[in-house]
Structure 1
Amino acid sequence: MERALKTVAAILPLLFAFAFLVPVIDQGMEALGLNAPFGLSTLTFALIIGGGWGVFAQVTGRWI
Structure 2
Amino acid sequence: MQTLFKIMPFLFGIGFIAPLIAQTMTYWGWEPPLGLSPIGLGLLIGGPWGLYATLRGRWV
TM-score, normalised to structure 2, is 0.91
One of 31, 36, 47 as aligned partner of 1:51: 47
Rg bigger for which structure? 1
One of 11, 22, 27 as aligned partner of 2:7: 11
Unaligned runs of 5+ in 1: none
Alignment of 1:24 with 2:20, yes or no, is yes
**Higher RCO structure (Cα 8 Å, ≥6 apart):** 2
Deviation at 1:60, TM superposition (A): 1.1
Unaligned runs of 5+ in 2: none
Aligned residues: 60
TM-score, normalised to structure 1, is 0.86
Identity across aligned pairs (percent)? 42
Q: Which runs of 4+ in 1 moved over 6 A?
A: none
Deviations 1:10-57 (A, max 9, x none): 111011111111110110100010111111111110010010111111
